[in-house]
Amino acid sequence: MTEYKHRPMGLPVPDGRLSRLARLGGMAAGVAGNIAVNGGRQLVSGQRPKMNDLLLTPANAARITSQLAQMRGAAMKMGQLMSMEGGDFIPPELAEILGHLRADAHYMPPAQLKKVLSANWGADFLKRFKRFDVRPIAAASIGQVHRAQTKDGRDVAIKVQYPGVRKSIDSDVSNVASLLRLTGLLPKELDIAPMLAEAKRQLHEEADYQREGDMLDQFGILLADDPRFVVPQLHPDLTTENILGMDYIDGVAIETLTDASQDTRDTVMNALVALVVQELFEFKLMQTDPNFANYRYDPDTGKVVLLDFGATRPFSDGMVERYRQLLRAGLSDDREARRAAMIEIGFFTADTQPKHQNQILDMFAMAMEPVQAGGTFDFAETDLAGRLRMAGMEIAAERDFWHIPPMDTLYVQRKMGGIYLLASRLKARINLSPLIAAAT
């Protein structure tokens, strides 16, 4: 497989609906052309080509990734989610290449950046700053982050939304979904309308930086007395619908802790797992995006820096209670109680074939292994992540069972899956039993 390297650079964000549609159309045409050429070659050589093999070539995957990275916005966000959450549904080669979308995106060139800042702060915005670094310190799907210092001495991080992102969300999501349909990666009988509607709703919320500022402020209050975490302070005078101003807090990427001491890795992961439990059962408010970039570590204080609250989601008392019942059933090892709780939550229905119910119950039993360990569970000494992945792929391969759970359930599973993945990456040792017992 040829290597594809994603190199961030300053590229203007296409902000017109027609220009974004044209890029997606061009990407689709290029992929279709590659499929036709490669399929013809295989037919000439006497082989019977398979659509998935023709579609998921390195050249096609690189083309898709490159175009999504240039477009940014909802189109790129969906590519990121596919790479993170679609591991059970897409080949590892495609997941690996799409994974480059989780790294730094292309960023706006200075002229486009200045236009956005002027539109939100006024043409004389530079008078408010001693220093404003034009090169961003981070760039993602919806916006990029700059470090600056205000005239009154505040060291701040300024998140600037790409132009046109908000108005292109609905069309981007619909167009990417149509492309997925055309590829045959999604079965025709799968009703993805609820998921598409939710994707649009969530992306509109993530694109509202004033809402994110409110969530940032709320988590700052909730965790103000917690010595394990630090949440940047919101700067309302710098915040608009398209710009988010907050404290700049130094730190290192959470993944770099793979080289830290075992004690540091264990401390960090125990804190993050405890926070997920606290978010669900105490706060009833969860930051649901498990992207590793949302966590940083401050070596000087030993605190975990929490970032990006755009995907924060409140949960109802009823939903939280249903999860509490599921955990109780999991701790009791009562399979029938687990089945009833999973039906209540919506993992499957009472009419789902027993074979598929049992497959999902078996996956849940695997996921409960760290909880039932009865002490410290060593994520370095387990193949749990691999077994869960294989089980998910087996379920996904059976086209007679495609079921989309309620959106709240998907968000919780997304966050918990991300935490398990990070624990495996850091090879942490976690004692989950007291955390779960306290929640139930």
Cα separation, 405 vs 71, in Å, equals 30
Closest CA to 246 of 237, 234, 230: 234
Residue 284's contacts (CB-CB under 8 Å, 6 or more residues apart) are 314, 315, 316, 317, 320
Cα–Cα–Cα angle for 195, 196, 200, rounded to 5 degrees: 115
Measured at the CA of 343, the angle between CA 340 and CA 349, to 5 degrees, comes to: 130
SS3 159: strand
The token pair at 353 is 């074939």
Q: What number of CA atoms fall less than 13 Å from residue 349's CA on the CB side?
A: 7
Q: Which residues pair with 150 in a beta bridge?
A: 129
Angle between helix 165-183 and helix 17-44 axes, rounded to 10 deg: 20
Tokens describing residue 330: 């999991």
**Rounded Cα–Cα distance for residues 262 and 260 (Å):** 7
Among the listed residues 104, 266, 289, 308, the single catalytic one is: 289
Closest by Cα among 323, 425, 330 to 372: 330
What number of other Cβ atoms are within 10 A of residue 113's Cβ?
Answer: 21
* Nearest-angstrom CA–CA distance, 10 and 110: 8
**Phi and psi (nearest 5°) for 127?**
-65, -15
Q: Quick check: is 333 catalytic?
A: no
**Residue 439 in tokens:** 């929640």
Positions annotated as catalytic residues are 289
